[in-house]
Structure formats: C-alpha cells, structure tokens
Structure 1
Amino acid sequence: MTGLNEPRAVVNTCVAIMLEIAAIDSHASFGFIGAASESEDEANTKRFRFYKRLMATYFSKAEFRHFGDTEKSTYILIRHKELAEHPTLIEDIEQGFKATFDYFD
C-alpha cells in the first residue's frame, strides 16, 4: 500500500505511536488483527505471528495482559489494572470484533 514493499518502517511507526499513547494514557489498551494475505487462511497469519513477536518485545507482561487468538489472528493488549476494574473487558472487545468483522462469527 505504501509502495515501499518494506513493512518495517510502517510497523515501527505504529509501535512508536502505541508506546507514546501508552505513556500518555494510563488507561490505554490495544488490539489488532493480522490480516491474511491473498494466499493465506485467516488462522495464524504471517502478519499475526510477526506482530505478536513485536508486542512481546515492546509491551511488558508486567503491565499488559497479552491475549492472542491464533484462529482469528487477533491480538489484544490490556493493562492489568483495566482488566481488574472491568472483568468483562475481553468479552466486550470480542463482541466488538464480531459486530465489526464478518468472519468473527
């Protein structure tokens, strides 16, 4: 999409933005879908595996709870304190994914 055929600059920019948001907003949590390429199934995509490694590198498990769903190639980072205050947060996010994306049913 960028014409660069090199995703690292775009991905690094996204991670930098996420880190900045996390530093500014103590309530911030994050989620993404590792979209399938044309030749891939939606389960455990190459993008999902790559993003998952990045999240483990840049976002501490001491501060964030990491949820990965290989079947749907989705990943959610939720701050432990937000999860403690909102125990149904994961289910709420999953419902949001289902309402937004057809293949989550």
Structure 2
Amino acid sequence: MTNDNEPRRIVYSCFELMRRYYLKDNTISFGFVAASDIDPIKKEKPGNRRFRFYRTLVNNYFGTKAFAHLHDGNERLYLLLNRQQIQNGKLTVEHISEIINKLYECDFNFSWD
C-alpha cells in the first residue's frame, strides 16, 4: 500500500498492537486472512506469498508457547489460539472451526488437521 515494497513495518505495527491486547487480556486469541494473489497463475498455487510471509513473521514473533498456530487448507487463514483457553476447555478448535466456516461460508474449509 505504501509502494515501497517493504511490508514488515506495517506487519510489525499490527503485531505490536496484538502484543498490547495480549498484555491487557492474556486469554485473547488472534486470527488473520492473507489477501489472495492478483496474478491468476500465482492465485492457483496453495499458500500465497503473503501467507508464507506472514507465517514466517508470526512464528518468529509469537512462538508457540502461548498460542497454538493453525491455518486453513488454502493457507490464507491463520489463527493464533490461546493455549491456556484451549487447555481449560473455554475454547475448542471445533467451535472456532464452526464459527469460521459459517462466517466465511465457502472461502475456507478450516479444520484442526
């Protein structure tokens, strides 16, 4: 969006906001959707460039101690689910999957697999 071909500054700003929300509420979970590629050939490949880029940064920034990292089969939807909430049974992957699949209808076929 800034035409400088350097998205890390924007992504890290988003991560900093996520971190601040987590510090205020350590039961929170996060999710995001990577936009589709515009190029029709690249669009057909699984896991678009944006998703791969986001996945790498998310893994480095958040790690796996506090959050379970899950994504859909099309590799555009990425979830950081709070492990503590999963362990106390207050959050189930099945329930989240159901909500996402209803909310986005045919865009995602999210499951725990």
Query: Which TM-score tier does this pair reach, normalised by the shorter chain?
Result: 0.7 to 0.9
1:86 paired to 2:91? yes
Q: Of the candidates 67, 77, 80, which is equivalent to residue 77 of structure 1?
A: 80
TM-superposition CA deviations, 1:37-95 (whole Å, max 9, x none): 21131630000001111111111312111102241411000101222312223332333
Runs of 4+ in 1 over 4 A off after TM superposition: none
* In 1, Cα distance between equivalents of 2:75 and 2:57: 18
Q: Give the match for residue 95 of structure 1.
A: 102
* In 1, Cα distance between equivalents of 2:103 and 2:52: 22
Alpha-carbon shift at residue 12 of structure 1 (Å): 1.3
Matches within 5 A, 1:1-105: 1-39=1-39, 40-41=42-43, 43-83=46-86, 84-87=89-92, 88-98=95-105, 103-104=107-108
Alpha-carbon shift at residue 9 of structure 1 (Å): 1.2
In the alignment, structure 1 segments of 5+ residues that lack a partner are none
* In 1, Cα distance between equivalents of 2:104 and 2:23: 25
Please give the secondary structure, in 1, of the residue aligned with 2:104: helix
The size of the alignment, in residue pairs, is: 102
* In 1, Cα distance between equivalents of 2:33 and 2:108: 11
In the alignment, structure 2 segments of 5+ residues that lack a partner are none
The residue type paired with residue 60 of structure 1 is: G
The residue type paired with residue 95 of structure 1 is: K
- TM-score normalised by the chain length of structure 1: 0.80
Out of 89-98 and 26-35, give the one that drifted further: 89-98
Identity fraction in percent: 31
The Cα RMSD (Å) is: 2.1
8 Å contact 1:67–1:77 — kept in the other structure? yes
